[in-house]
A and B are shown apart, each in its own frame.
Chain A
Amino acid sequence: MGKQATRVIVNGKSHARVIDARLTLADFLRHELNLTGTHLGCEHGVCGACTVLVDGRTARSCLMFAVQANGCAVTTVEGLAPEGQLSVLQQAFIDNHGLQCGFCTPGMLMTLTELLRDTPAPSEQDVREALTGNLCRCTGYAGIVAAALDAAQRLRGALAKPGSP
């Protein structure tokens, strides 16, 4: 019952599958594509651990069916470091003690990737507001906020430097 042919572009690669309509995008990524970087905490849209980008906008992948993403471009945490080279934000997390157990980290990174793209010079309040939809049960928010602000500064510096990528 309810099988659907679905094609989703994930981290730049197209994947076609025939799937149950009830399969969430999160389970599609984890079980069909083995992209287990996307974490599932609560599975009802509260914790934010499963946050991914759908057509460039953050979404909770536990609150979307994979069939809804048919034809969409999805970016997961794996897409932030396709060649194994960490993104500026990921490196800033390491440098600022932005993760402890790491469970919430993929969701945090995706939310902040969107924020830093749309708001290159965020205030601390902007960062904290963006993160209201992501829970860290290690309560390591101070490090996460510091990492976001540090990454924003590094990204602005890279932009200001002539000739840099």
Chain B
Amino acid sequence: MKPAPFDYHAPRQLKDAAELLVRLPNAKLLAGGQSLVPMMNFRYVIVDHLIDLGRLDELRGVAVVEGALRIGAMTRQRDLEFSPEVAKHCPLLAEALRHVGHRQTRNRGTIGGSLAHADPAAELPAVCAAYDATVHALSVRGIRRIAFREFCTGFMATALAPDEMIAAIDLPIWRLGHGHGFHEFSRRQGDFAIAGAAALLDVGADNVVRRAALTVFGVATAPLRVEAAEARLAGKPLDTAAIRAAAAAAWLIEPISDIHAGGDYRRHLAQVLSARALNDAARRAGVEA
């Protein structure tokens, strides 16, 4: 359980990190290390060079920019969990973070690392999918903005080019007073979810849904937006029947089967958890559905 030898680099400037990533063969970026280091210990991953992003203070922090919450890629999950900006503008993220690993791993783990790792059962990619996040990919060529819809390209695969790293994530801010809900099922607290659902609802004073987002995760190679559910909600009055009909759209997904759960069970969970997430979102938006 010891990683293979490698050369270690800890750049202090972002441009140095980008240059190292171009120049060094068989190099990998180290963010919080809570997924990469176990894989290195198991020697699933063997690198010649490890580029530690931990000394790049410019990759840390949270700010409101252009109507979005801009989060530095190296911001620790625990700092986001207790960030007043996150609680105010993107409460879905704060709620989801309580399900991410354990306190000890959130102290080290980062949002950028979780997205780059792109585990299909991870919470943070699901939240980014619900918000229609934008990923800022940095390289020596500059910054490229990637819509989250195009970011996950397959099982633990992303649209990042080999010379690109995540610099920041933009989460578009929903109207104050919108509702959010997050539910997942795992066998133990802190485990990866067998399935989960994240919901956002913007409901007008007339009780009509102005905007809806529903993401299920853990069921496919990447988080899935349930567009059929969103279509059933948007522009219509919100009540129990509407939520039930929307959650039922989660039946349409084609889930994966693996040693943790069969596809049928995942489909069942996706529907139940979608209903719970939407109910929470409705309640927080001021609707007793």
Which of B86-94, B104-112, B198-206 has 4 or more CB atoms under 8 Å from chain A? B104-112
Q: Are A130 and B103 in contact (CB under 8 A)?
A: yes
How many chain A residues touch the partner (CB < 8 A)? 32
Question: B162 at the A/B interface (Cβ < 8 Å)?
Answer: no
CB distance from B94 to the nearest CB of A (A): 16
For chain B, residues 1 to 48, give those with C-beta under 8 angstroms from any C-beta of chain A.
Answer: 1-8, 10, 30, 33-34, 37-38, 40-42
A-B contact count (CB 8 A): 91
What's the Cα separation between A63 and B2 when bound, in Å? 11
Question: A65 at the A/B interface (Cβ < 8 Å)?
Answer: yes
Q: Are B41 and A44 in contact (CB under 8 A)?
A: yes
Q: Are B7 and A21 in contact (CB under 8 A)?
A: yes
Contact of A64 among B101, B108, B188, B189 (CB under 8 A): B108
Best-buried of A2, A63, A114 by chain B (most CB within 10 Å): A63
CB distance from A31 to the nearest CB of B (A): 11
Q: Are B188 and A132 in contact (CB under 8 A)?
A: yes
Query: Are A68 and B41 also in contact (CB < 8 A) when A21-B7, A58-B107, A133-B104 are?
Result: no
Residues of A within 8 A of B188 (CB): 132
Q: Are B38 and A44 in contact (CB under 8 A)?
A: yes
Question: B78 at the A/B interface (Cβ < 8 Å)?
Answer: yes
What's the Cα separation between A67 and B41 when bound, in Å? 16
**SS class, residues of chain A in contact with chain B:** mixed
Q: Are B8 and A67 in contact (CB under 8 A)?
A: yes
Residues of A within 8 A of B189 (CB): 129, 132
CB distance from B191 to the nearest CB of A (A): 9
Q: Are B8 and A62 in contact (CB under 8 A)?
A: no
Question: B54 at the A/B interface (Cβ < 8 Å)?
Answer: yes
Q: Are A44 and B42 in contact (CB under 8 A)?
A: yes
Residues of B within 8 A of A45 (CB): 34, 37-38, 105
What's the Cα separation between A111 and B8 when bound, in Å? 29
Contact of A43 among B1, B5, B108 (CB under 8 A): B1
CB distance from A47 to the nearest CB of B (A): 11
Contact of B8 among A27, A65, A114 (CB under 8 A): A65
Query: Are A133 and B37 also in contact (CB < 8 A) when A2-B7, A21-B7 are?
Result: no
| Shortest Cβ distance from B4 into A: residue | A22
Residues of B within 8 A of A44 (CB): 1, 38, 41-42
Q: Are B105 and A22 in contact (CB under 8 A)?
A: no
Q: Are A2 and B104 in contact (CB under 8 A)?
A: no
Q: Are B190 and A133 in contact (CB under 8 A)?
A: yes
What's the Cα separation between A22 and B41 when bound, in Å? 9
What's the Cα separation between A111 and B2 when bound, in Å? 24
CB distance from A144 to the nearest CB of B (A): 15
Residues of A within 8 A of B102 (CB): 48, 132-133
CB distance from B160 to the nearest CB of A (A): 23
Question: A91 at the A/B interface (Cβ < 8 Å)?
Answer: no
Contact of A1 among B5, B34, B78 (CB under 8 A): B5
What's the Cα separation between A103 and B38 when bound, in Å? 21
Contact of A62 among B41, B50, B103, B190 (CB under 8 A): B41
CB distance from A81 to the nearest CB of B (A): 21
Residues of A within 8 A of B132 (CB): none
Question: B227 at the A/B interface (Cβ < 8 Å)?
Answer: no
Contact of A63 among B5, B7, B34, B54 (CB under 8 A): B34
| Other 16 A-B pairs with CB < 8 A, given A1-B6, A60-B104 | A1-B5, A20-B5, A21-B5, A21-B50, A22-B40, A45-B37, A45-B38, A57-B107, A60-B108, A62-B1, A63-B105, A65-B37, A130-B103, A132-B189, A132-B190, A133-B101
Q: Which 8 A-B pairs have the closest CB atoms?
A: A133-B102, A21-B8, A43-B1, A44-B38, A57-B107, A132-B189, A63-B37, A58-B104
